Amino acid sequence: MVEDTIAAIATAPGEAGIGIVRISGPDSIYIAEKIFKSKVSKELKDYPQRRLIYGYIINPYDGKKIDEVLISYMKAPYTYTTEDVVEINCHGGMIAVKRILEIVLKNGARLADRGEFTKRAFLNGRIDLSQAEAVMNMISAKTDKGFDISLNQLEGGLSKEVNSVQDILIEMMAHIEASIDFPEDDVENVLYEKIMEKANIVLKRIRKMIDTSDAGRIIQDGLKTVILGKPNVGKSSLMNAMLRENRAIVTDIPGTTRDIIEEYININGIPLKIIDTAGIRSTEDLVEKMGVERAKENLNMADLVIAVFDVSQKLTDEDREIIKLIKNKKAIVILNKTDLPEVIKEKELKEHLSDKVVINTSILKGNGIDKLEDTIKDMFFSGDIKVEDEIIINNIRHKDLLVKAEKDISEAIESIELNMPLDCIEVDIKSCWENLGMINGETVTEDIIDRIFQDFCIGK
């Protein structure tokens, strides 16, 4: 258990109805008693816990009112951190929360580090590491589905699966240990068979989790979609049409967009992180040149490219460069400006783009956008993803560890096939167990824990 008492502003800065200052630790109720004055001249401890109590925060040194508040206190261990917790609901905005935090700190609390409340919940054993990480993913979720996946993890969905796979690994190690200690008790062949069977189950279950990670990442961060094309073909117009607002500047001057513009949209339930880029061309203009470089950099990390061409203009070298750039990418080709007389023929372009879906649009007239949106959905999600009853990996750290665990168990299987000595096999099984343990925090080191919580927001 931690000895000191921490405090932080738990709500986001800015104008709002209320703000919340949260205190956790052994002194939190004592501190609250010093600075709180109820409307009906009772002490804080005269009220039951877990109730909102109306009154004032006062400066205990001069008795001056600091704000009108609703305060509640919750006693250990049934709290977020498992410690005594006090929450002060005060007026929103910058001033009230800051004043209250100051007075709380002056009376014995220490300013909480990032994620320290959740870290305490983890260190005190209320939640495991994957659940703590789920909390952060809920806060940073960009979509409803992303939120639901993390909610499932917070409720222990992922932990349960990881623990259960770990249990199988422990059984395997126990079998091996027993036969090393009492070699005459078990017929070796039977043991190898038994271990093999279990190893295959472990492999299957780890793979099943890994298989969800692409969808999980897309749901969490959005499908990274880069709009690419030479200048003036209608890339920014497309972005605006998909966003249904005039986000990017559109003009008939080639080279209008010079930096990348990123926005989140939801298309048929799929979150898209859509990125408009500077038109690709060789240019002497330094700013535009950097924009073109950025466009190409973004291309490398894209899940999907929407390549836009202008059918009213002849195919140029710039178009050909685009065709080359998207060759090995998941891409949809847009033939835009079909309201104008067609100069590029679809057939001609299709010769270069054998495998790509081609959609005709007139963004100006609003034609073809629906078809584009349907195509995106079909490309990435054939079925609907049900997040309620499925474990979906939406955290890159978890995915990396699962991949390591997969490698360990695959190596164990290989060793079993080769009839390697039991203690060799056990090494891989143990490593697999350890890698899984880093997901739920069982085998994780202090510096990794610190690093994980560094990414949290203040006050959580």
Binding site for ligand GTP (CB under 6 A): 229, 231-237, 250-252, 254-257, 278-279, 336-337, 339-340, 362-364
- What's the rounded Cα separation, in Å, for the pair 258 and 248? 11
Rounded Cα distance between 280 and 314, Å, is 16
Cβ 276 to Mg ion, closest distance in Å?
Answer: 6
Among 388, 387, 436, 406, CA closest to 164: 436
255 binds, among ligand GTP, Mg ion, none (CB under 5 to 8 A by kind): ligand GTP
CB atoms closer than 10 angstroms to residue 95: 13
Cα separation of 165 and 432, whole Å?
10
Residue 297 Cβ vs ligand GTP, minimum distance, rounded to whole Å: 16
- Rounded Cα distance between 32 and 88, Å, is 9
The smaller minimum CB distance to Mg ion, of residues 292 and 452, is found at 292
Strand partners, 224: 273
Asked if 277 touches Mg ion (CB under 5 A), the answer is: no
State yes or no: residue 257 binds Mg ion (CB under 5 A). yes
The option from ligand GTP, Mg ion, none interacting with 362 (CB < 5 to 8 A, set by class) reads ligand GTP
Eight-class DSSP state of 386: P
Shortest distance in whole angstroms from residue 336 CB to ligand GTP? 5
Q: Which is nearer to Mg ion, 256 or 443 (CB)?
A: 256
β-pairing verdict for 85-91 and 6-9: unpaired
Residue 306 or 409: which CB sits closer to ligand GTP? 306
The DSSP call for residue 390 is: S
Which of the stretches 249-257, 304-312, 324-332, 405-413 binds Mg ion when contact is defined by CB under 5 A?
249-257
In a 13 Å sphere around the CA of 167, the CA atoms on its Cβ side amount to 6
Spacing of C-alpha 20 from chain mean position: 25
Measured from the CB atom, the residue of 279 and 459 that comes closer to Mg ion is 279
Nearer to Mg ion, 10 or 261 (CB): 261
Q: Does 298 bind Mg ion (CB under 5 A)?
A: no
Q: Is 236 in the site for Mg ion (CB under 5 A)?
A: yes
Closer by beta carbon to ligand GTP, 199 or else 331 = 331
CB contact at 8 A, 37 and 55: yes
Asked if 212 touches Mg ion (CB under 5 A), the answer is: no
Give me the residues that bind Mg ion (CB under 5 A), please. 235-236, 256-257
